[in-house]
Amino acid sequence: MSELCKWIHEALISLPPISYPFSVSKLPENGIYFFYEEGESWGHDGNQQRIVRIGTHREGNFRSRIKEHFLLNERAMDFNKTEPAPKDRSIFRKNIGRALLNRARDDYLRIWEIDFTTRKNLDRYADLRNIDKEKRTELEITRILRTNFSFRAIPLQSEVKRMGRGGLEARLIGTVAGCDLCEPSNSWLGRYSPKPEIRESGLWLVQHLSNPPIGASDRGTISKAIESA
pLDDT in tens, 17-55: 999 999 999 999 999 999 999 999 999 988 899 999 999
What is the average per-residue pLDDT within 87-115? 98
Q: Which percentage of the chain shows pLDDT scores above 70?
A: 99
Instruction: List the single range of 56-65, 121-130, 200-209, 218-227 with lowest mean pLDDT.
Output: 56-65
Minimal CA–CA distance to 11: which of 63, 53, 48? 48
**136 shares a domain with 47:** no
**Domain range spanning residue 224?**
2-68+149-188+196-228
Cβ partners under 8 Å of residue 45, min gap 6: none
pTM of the model: 0.95
Total domains, the chain: 2
**170 shares a domain with 60:** yes
**13 shares a domain with 62:** yes
**153 shares a domain with 63:** yes
**15 shares a domain with 128:** no
HSE on the CB side for 221, CA within 13 Å? 18
